[in-house]
Amino acid sequence: MPRKKLTARRHTLSHRVRYALRHPARVPRYAVRAGRDAWLRFRSPDHIAYYRAVMRSDTAASPDAAVGSQSHERWLALGAMQFDYLAGHGLRPEHRMLEIGCGNLRAGWRFIDHLDTGHYYGIDISPDILFAAQDTLVRCGLREKLPTLTPVRDLTFAFLPDAYFDVVHAHSVFSHSPLPVIEECFAHVGRILAPGGWFDFTFDRTEAEEHHVLREDFYYRTETLTALAEKHGLSARFMEDWEELPHGQSKIRVTHGPAAARRPGERLDGGETVSGAAPV
Ligand SMILES: C[S@@+](CC[C@H](N)C(=O)[O-])C[C@H]1O[C@@H](n2cnc3c(N)ncnc32)[C@H](O)[C@@H]1O
């Protein structure tokens, strides 16, 4: 299981020097990536445009690696881990799901297979990875499930309907997002989340100073993200059971906050109901 390095201060020079001494073989690749990223940042100072350019470059080399899997076996395993977790938390075929940063459907193809026709909606800032997602759909024989795959410029969800999605999911997306992007999502996700729905996202957790590496990887303290969600009227809780899985990131679940009115018997948080009746 990858141990979470919660106190590493990756942005400091001393950390980078120590890391280079421990892993000299990785230095040339890091140097090439740092040079490429500096050039892309120069051309696209806006974070979304910059990260879209990173994805374009990475997807051209390998769509699986672009979403963080160094082999197809890892791609399959990481998708299965996401699917099994949500299925274990009550994801049902009739649910409507929005996947933010769906990539090339590493987990998405499993969600599409599980959900009723037309119930999966994937969005991403990268048209290139969405083309790769279409290839995954064809390869997995899932055309008939008619999922929607849409490029987006931001996370305001302006074109999506109110109270529509039972489950919103963002795996390894906020680990690549500066705080204003996450806040934009929190400011708008409550509108599209169905009553009783839930929004799970992973993040790179630190217990030291918050930092980023090459503006590609962002590390946050749990309380920063839970407080930000609460500022936008949402409830947020750290998912302890995700920590048991072999994954380097942590997970938070966001639901409508206590202020949102709920009807008796309405599902809460993907399971229990207001009345306490067993979930169906
Ligand atoms: C590491 S990949 C993970 C993809 C997918 N969630 C998975 O687990 O396979 C991150 C994805 O999020 C997308 N992304 C990054 N920032 C985004 C944003 N602000 N809005 C939507 N998608 C974003 C990237 O283009 C990329 O496809």
Q: What is the mean predicted confidence (pLDDT) over 19-42?
A: 84
Contacts of 38 (CB under 8 A, 6+ apart): none
**129 alpha carbon – ligand 1 mean position (Å):** 9
**32 alpha carbon – ligand 1 mean position (Å):** 22
Tell me the DSSP string of 154-221: SS--TTS-TT-EEEEEESSSGGG--HHHHHHHHHHHHHHEEEEEEEEEEEEE-SS--EEETTTEEEE-
Specify the pLDDT at position 280. Answer: 27
Decide if 133 contacts 102 (C-beta within 8 A). yes
Shortest-distance atom of ligand 1 to CA 181: 19
Lowest model confidence (mean pLDDT) among 51-60, 217-226, 229-238, 257-266:
257-266
Q: Is the CB of 136 within 6 Å of ligand 1?
A: no
Instruction: Report the chain's mean pLDDT, rounded to a whole number.
Output: 90
**104 alpha carbon – ligand 1 mean position (Å):** 9
Domain 46-256: which CATH class? alpha beta
Confidence of residue 279 (pLDDT cuts 50, 70, 90): very low
Specify the pLDDT at position 269. Answer: 45
Specify the pLDDT at position 5. Answer: 77
Q: Is a pLDDT exceeding 80 seen at residue 263?
A: no
Q: Is the CB of 124 within 6 Å of ligand 1?
A: yes
Confidence of residue 260 (pLDDT cuts 50, 70, 90): low
Specify the pLDDT at position 83. Answer: 98
The pLDDT tens digits for 52-66 are 999 999 999 999 999
**Separation in Å, CA 213 to CA 15, 33, 233:** 12, 11, 30
Contacts of 70 (CB under 8 A, 6+ apart): 64
The pLDDT tens digits for 178-210 are 999 999 999 999 999 999 999 999 999 999 999
Mutate to test the pocket of ligand 1, among 52, 54, 124 (most ligand atoms within 8 A of CB): 124
Lowest model confidence (mean pLDDT) among 90-99, 156-165, 196-205, 213-222:
213-222
List the domain boundaries for the chain. 12-43, 46-256
Q: Is the CB of 107 within 6 Å of ligand 1?
A: yes
The pLDDT tens digits for 97-150 are 999 999 999 999 999 999 999 999 999 999 999 999 999 999 999 999 999 999
Specify the pLDDT at position 100. Answer: 98
Radius of gyration of the chain (CA): 19
Between CA 21 and CA 24 the distance in angstroms is: 6
Q: What is the mean predicted confidence (pLDDT) over 63-87?
A: 97
Specify the pLDDT at position 10. Answer: 75
Q: Is a pLDDT exceeding 60 seen at residue 274?
A: no
Lowest model confidence (mean pLDDT) among 20-24, 142-146, 151-155:
20-24
Q: Is the CB of 173 within 6 Å of ligand 1?
A: yes
Mutate to test the pocket of ligand 1, among 176, 184, 251 (most ligand atoms within 8 A of CB): 176
